[in-house]
Amino acid sequence: MDISIYKLKTKFQNLLMPICEKLVKLKVSPNQITITTVLLNIVFAGLIYKFNNYRFIYLTVPVFLFLRMALNALDGMIANKFNQKTKMGVFYNEAGDVVSDTIFFYVFLRVIGISEIHNLLFVFLSILSEYIGVTAMMVDNKRHYEGPMGKSDRAFLISLLAIIYYFIGNQYFDYILILAIVLLIFTIFNRVRSSVKGGWYASCNVFCWYSSFNYFIFN
């Protein structure tokens, strides 16, 4: 079965285009959206930490991550489609994603009872995988987003854990995190090898096709 990530990207951006055009008319810059997204992540992480005893709050996690997905798409759309790219914007975009993920994922995994070592490993490898994706540009002049545990995959995992936690608790969550950690290690290896040899990721696309969401959702 042929799954076109680019078709999904186009559809998603088409849905957001009216909002994007309105933001452009209001003179909202990509950097403003990026900074707002980071601040929202910090605030929401604080709410999760403060009100973690209220189970219903975990059902808001997928909604929030979808909102963040839309905001991350919008800043890229405004920058690319409306010629508002800036050099500082690159730093805002990359650093903003890492800061947002680090704060929110660490807080969330801690309040649902994930062991500290698994939590820290997951967060550290997430940061390292994005660092590798950026560093790869020095090898083949291309930002790498290969999976199987890229940005959107991690967001999907966190959303899934939130829903499961709401209904049945955190049984086996540490095992799930161990699997995610293994996939993060593979992701790092995959990005390095893909940048060095080029096109290698396509050969394992059946194994991790959905991870390519991070190309169009978060950028």
CATH number (domain holding residue 92): 1.20.120.1760
CA 94/CA 51 separation, integer angstroms: 29
What torsion do the CA atoms of 67, 213, 130, 24 make, to the nearest 10 degrees? -50
CA 50/CA 69 separation, integer angstroms: 24
For residue 168, CA distances in Å to 65, 114, 155, 177, 192 come to 21, 15, 20, 17, 38
* 8: confidence class by pLDDT, cuts 50, 70, 90: low
Mean pLDDT of 146-158: 88
pLDDT of residue 140: 86
Q: How many Å is the Cα radius of gyration of the chain? A: 17
pLDDT of residue 123: 97
pLDDT of residue 194: 85
Question: Domain containing 107: what range?
Answer: 5-217
Count of domains forming the chain: 1
Please count the CA atoms within 13 angstroms of the CA of 83 that sit on its side-chain side: 0
pLDDT of residue 7: 43
CA 179/CA 177 separation, integer angstroms: 5
Spatial neighbors of 73 by CB under 8 A, at least 6 apart, are 12, 13, 16, 216, 217, 218, 219
pLDDT of residue 219: 53
pTM for this model (two decimals) = 0.82
pLDDT of residue 76: 87
CA 161/CA 12 separation, integer angstroms: 24
Tell me the pLDDT tens digit for each residue of 21-64: 999 999 999 999 999 999 999 999 999 999 999 999 999 999 99
pLDDT of residue 195: 87
Nearest-10 crossing angle of helices 173-197, 151-168: 170
pLDDT of residue 19: 93
